[in-house]
């Protein structure tokens, strides 16, 4: 039997804590404020059962992942209107998978690198996207590390 305590993504209560969450019978999407701001607004979709990689998902879990991805997209499009997304699974350590419980990354673009913006000429970032996401949950205070970033110092509240 798998030791749930050894796997952070088997801890569904932790994934739900202070997060924007969507879930269905088989999977859960969690978007948390980042400690560093490095991947602010990045979410993961995990199967509720422990599956080491995407190749271990059941057909029901594939469908459930797609269902949550489409819900997340609809919500993010409505609230943040990102320019685009990165979405996908890393598999194995050499594939960039650091937690060996399958997790589908949903990263809205931009999640914002000033360097990339300068190179590509993209417009200035919209106001604090995770605050917008978490505002209905009353969790704005969790975004303070991100708000303190000098890059965002000109953005009110
Ligand atoms: Zn697990």
pLDDT, one tens digit per residue, over 12-47 is 999 999 888 999 999 999 988 765 454 456 799 999
pLDDT at 84: 85
- Residue 45's beta-bridge partner residues? 29, 104
pTM for the model stands at 0.69
pLDDT at 153: 37
In the reported structure, the alpha carbon of residue 51 is separated from the centroid of ligand 1 by a whole-number distance in angstroms of 6
In the reported structure, the alpha carbon of residue 40 is separated from the centroid of ligand 1 by a whole-number distance in angstroms of 23
Residues near ion ligand 1 (Cβ under 5 Å): 7, 9-10, 50, 101
In the reported structure, the alpha carbon of residue 127 is separated from the centroid of ligand 1 by a whole-number distance in angstroms of 34
Class of domain 4-148: alpha beta
pLDDT at 83: 81
Lowest mean pLDDT among 36-45, 59-68, 90-99: 36-45
**For residue 150, is pLDDT > 50?**
no
Mean of pLDDT over the chain: 76
pLDDT at 51: 98
Q: How many CB atoms lie within 10 A of CB 1?
A: 4
| Pair 46, 28: CB distance under 8 Å | yes
H-helix or E-strand spanning residue 88: strand 84-89
H-helix or E-strand spanning residue 27: strand 27-31
């Amino acid at each position: 039997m798998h030791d749930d305590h050894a796997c952070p993504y088997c801890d569904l209560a932790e994934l739900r804590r202070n997060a924007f969450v969507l879930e269905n019978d088989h999977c859960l999407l969690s978007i948390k404020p980042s400690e560093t701001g490095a991947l602010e607004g990045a979410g993961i979709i995990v199967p509720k059962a422990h599956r080491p990689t995407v190749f271990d998902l059941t057909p029901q879990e594939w469908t459930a992942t797609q269902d949550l991805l489409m819900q997340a997209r609809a919500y993010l499009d409505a609230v943040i209107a990102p320019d685009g997304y990165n979405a996908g699974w890393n598999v194995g350590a050499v594939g960039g998978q650091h937690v060996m419980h399958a997790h589908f990354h949903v990263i809205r673009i931009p999640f914002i690198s000033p360097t990339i913006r300068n190179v590509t000429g993209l417009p200035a970032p919209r106001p604090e996207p995770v605050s917008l996401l978490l505002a209905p949950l009353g969790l704005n205070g969790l975004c303070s590390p991100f708000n303190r970033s000098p890059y965002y110092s000109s953005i009110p509240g």
